[in-house]
A and B are shown apart, each in its own frame.
Chain A
Amino acid sequence: MRPLPAGWTSGQDVEVVPSAYLVMPGQTWPPSNGESPAGTATLAEWAVDRELVGSLLPGQVRGGSGASVASGSVSFPQPADSKPLAPWGRGAARIVGGTAARLTAGHDGPQGAVVALGAFVVDKISGSNASGSVEVDLVEDSASLRRPVALPPALANARTANNQTMPFGIDAAWIIDQAARAGGYHSTQAITPETVYSMPLVGAAIPERGTVSLTDNGTTWRWVTIDGLCTLEKTSLIGEGRVVGLATVAPVNGRVWLSIDMHSSSGMFQFAEVPGVGGISVTISPSSVSIVTSGPATTVGVPPFTGWATISVGIDATAKRVYTAVNGGTVSAANYTGTSSVTESPLVDVRWTSTATRVRGVRVIAAPSGFGTALPWAARSAVIAATESPLTAVLPGDESDGWGLIQAVTGATFGGAWITEDGTLVYRNRHALRGIGTSPEKVVAEDALESLDWTLDPGDVADSLELTFQPSDEQRVTDQSITVWESTEVVTIGAGKTVTLTVDVEGAVDSLAPWQQSVTGTETTGSRWAASTQRDGGGTMPPSDALSITNELVSATRVRLRIRNNTSGTLYTAGTDGTTQLTLRANLLARPGEAQTVAFGASAEAARSPLTVDAGAYVQDEAFAEILATWVWSQVQSASATVERVRVVPHLGRQIGDVIVLTDGITELRSKAIITGVHNAGSAGGYTQHLDLALLDVTFDDLDVLLAIATFNTLDARWAGLTFAALDEWIDTEGVPS
Chain B
Amino acid sequence: MSNGSPYLLGPLGGLVQVEAAPGVGVASERPSSALITPSGRRWRQVGKRAPRSWELSFTDVTPDVLRMVELAAEGLLGDVWLYDVGAARANMLAPRDVASTDTARTVVDVDGIALRSLFAGDPGAALRADHVVEVPVRGGQPYTVSAWTTGEEGIIFNISGAALGSWYALAGEHRGATTVTPAADGILTVKVPKSFPGHVSGLRVHEGPDDGRFYPGRGTPCRVSVDDPQGTVSSIRDGEHAVGDYTVTVYEVGGTR
Contacts and interface: CB of A to CB of B under 8 A. Distances in A.
Contacts of A16: 45-48, 101
B123 interface: no
A209 interface: no
Contacts of A107: 48
A449 B37 contact: yes
Given A446-B39, A666-B38, A34 B256 contact: yes
Contacts of B47: 16-17, 684-685
Contacts of A665: 39
B22 interface: no
Given A7-B102, A684-B31, A14 B37 contact: no
B113 interface: no
Interface in A88-127: 107
Contacts of B41: 13, 447
B45 A687 contact: yes
Interface in B33-65: 33, 35, 37-39, 41-48
B43 to A, nearest CB: 5
B43 A685 contact: no
Contacts of B255: 33-35
B234 to A, nearest CB: 36
B27 to A, nearest CB: 16
Contacts of A13: 41-44
A238 interface: no
B31 A447 contact: no
B32 interface: yes
A685 B39 contact: no
B28 to A, nearest CB: 14
Interface string A15-40: 11101000000000000011100000
Nearest to A647: B35
Contact of B39 (A7, A447, A684): A447
A666 B39 CA distance: 9
Interface string B228-257: 000000000000000000000000010110
B2 to A, nearest CB: 36
B80 to A, nearest CB: 13
A34 B254 CA distance: 9
A318 interface: no
Nearest to A684: B31
A649 B39 CA distance: 13
B31 A686 contact: yes
Contacts of A451: 38
B194 to A, nearest CB: 18
**Central interface residue in B31, B32, B39, B253, by most chain A CB within 10 Å:** B39
Given A7-B102, A17-B47, A685 B33 contact: yes
**Central interface residue in A35, A447, A686, by most chain B CB within 10 Å:** A686
A685 B38 contact: no
Nearest to B102: A7
B37 A686 contact: no
A687 B46 CA distance: 10
A495 interface: no
A448 interface: yes
A448 B45 contact: no
A685 B37 contact: no
A450 interface: yes
Nearest to B253: A80
Contacts of A447: 37, 39, 41
Interface in A64-86: 80
A567 B48 CA distance: 90
B37 A15 contact: no
Contacts of B37: 446-450, 649
Contacts of A450: 35, 37-38
Interface string B143-161: 0000000000000000000
Interface string A628-650: 00000000000000000001010
Contacts of B44: 13-15
Given A15-B44, A17-B45, A686 B32 contact: yes
Contacts of B32: 685-686
A647 B42 CA distance: 14
Contacts of A17: 31, 45-48
Nearest to A109: B255
A76 to B, nearest CB: 14
A446 B43 CA distance: 12
A688 B42 CA distance: 14
A454 to B, nearest CB: 14
Nearest to A444: B39
B46 A14 contact: yes
Contacts of B45: 14-17, 685-687
A446 B46 contact: no
A449 to B, nearest CB: 6
A504 B107 CA distance: 77
Nearest to A451: B38
A7 B31 CA distance: 20
Given A34-B255, A35-B255, A649 B35 contact: yes
A107 B43 CA distance: 19
B50 to A, nearest CB: 12
Nearest to B34: A686
Contacts of A448: 37
Interface of B: 31-33, 35, 37-39, 41-48, 101-102, 253, 255-256
| Across the A-B interface, the 7 shortest Cβ-Cβ residue pairs | A686-B33, A686-B45, A685-B31, A446-B39, A684-B31, A685-B33, A446-B38
19 contacts: A7-B102, A13-B44, A15-B43, A16-B48, A17-B47, A19-B48, A34-B256, A35-B255, A446-B39, A447-B37, A447-B39, A447-B41, A448-B37, A647-B35, A649-B37, A685-B33, A685-B45, A686-B32, A686-B45
